[in-house]
A and B are shown apart, each in its own frame.
Chain A
C-alpha cells in the first residue's frame, strides 16, 4: 500500500491548494472584520461560471479570467454594502446567518442564470501530467499551488510593507483607535470583501479545468476552505494555507487508506477536533475581535 503514497500526497496537494485559496479569503475577512463569510465558496462558483461564459463568447482565456475576477470583486463589494454593512456591529451569529443567506441567494441566482449543467474551462497550459516519485500531478495543479503561494506572498507584502495594509491591520486590532486617526473601518471592511471575492474567483477559475464548474459547487468548497482556515487558527494567512494543504492531504489519505466515501465526514471530524483542542486559541481570537 506504500506504493500509493506518492499519488495520495500529490492528489492531496492538488485539492489542498484549492482549499488554501478559499481559506485565505476566509482569513482575510475574518481577520479584518471578525465575520465568518460562508458565501466565500460562492465567489469561486461565480468566478468560474462567469469565466466559462465569457470564454464561450470567444474571449481569450486571460481576458475572460480578468473580467470575471473583476466582476466577482464588484459582487463582493455589493455583498458587503447590501448585506453586511447594514448589520455592522451586530452579533457574530447574526453575521454568520447573513452570510449563509447570501450564499443561498447567490446559488439560487446562479441556477437561474446558468442552469444545473456543469461547465468546463481549458487547462491554462495543456499537456501531459508531470510524473513525480511515481505519482502524477496535472499541470493545472501546479498553477493552483503556485497561485496559493503567490497570493500569500502578495498579502504578506501588502500587510507588512504598505501603508494601506498597515491601516487594515490596525483596524483589525482596534477599530476605535483607527477611527481616531481617520481610517474608516467600514471602508476597510469593504476592501476586505472585495479582495476576498477576488481570491475566491481566482480559486474558482484555477480549479475549473480540473473539476468543472456547477452552480452548487460553492457551499462544499466554502466549508472545506473554512475548515482549513480554522485549522490555521483563523487569523493567520500562512497558517490557513498550510491548513488548506492539510485538509487536502487528510482527505486524500483517508480515501486512500481508510474507507473511501467518508472523506467528507473525516474533514468535519478534524474540524470538531480542532475546535475542541484549540479552544483556547480560538476563543482568544474571538475575544480579541470583540474588544
Chain B
C-alpha cells in the first residue's frame, strides 16, 4: 500500500515536472525590459553592481523583510529551548586546531572583502555573512567556544542589529524624505554599506546560533 502511494506520488511529480518544462519552453513576447530599467537608474542607486542595486535599493524593502524572516527563524528555534552549554572542546585533535588557527583570520578577511566588493561586483552581506557564520562554526568545532558566553547573553542584540539598523534607515527616510527607503543618491552608497555591515554581523550570528540548535529539546515531556 505504501509502495503504491509512493508510485502514485512519483508519477504525479513526474507529470508536474513535465508541465513545468512545457510552460518554461513556451516562447514569450517581449514584456517590460527590466535590465534597461535597472541600467537607467543604476547611477542613482549608490552602487555599481546591478544585483546589489536591486537587493539593497530598488527592492530593499523585500530584503528588509527577508532579514526579519531570518530573525523569526531564529526565534522559532530559540523559543523551544535555550542555547546548549559550551562543550569545552576537550576532544579536538591537533590538526583541526592548527587548521582553524590558519583559516579563521582568512575567513574573516574574505567575509569582509565580500561585503566591500558587493558595491561593484558579486558579493554582499548575505555571502559575507554566510562565510563569517562558517568561520564561527569552524571556531566552535575547533573548541574555541569562549564567544558562546557573549552569544548567550547578547544573542538578540547581535542577531537583531541587522534588522534594527535597516528599520532605523527605513524610518529615517520615511520621516525626513516622506518615502520608505528613499535613499538620497549622494548618501545611498554609504547607507547601503552601513545596512550591509550590520546585516553581515546579524546573518553570521543567526547562522551560528541556528547551527547550535537546541540542546535540551530531548528532555521535554513526551
Partners in one complex: no
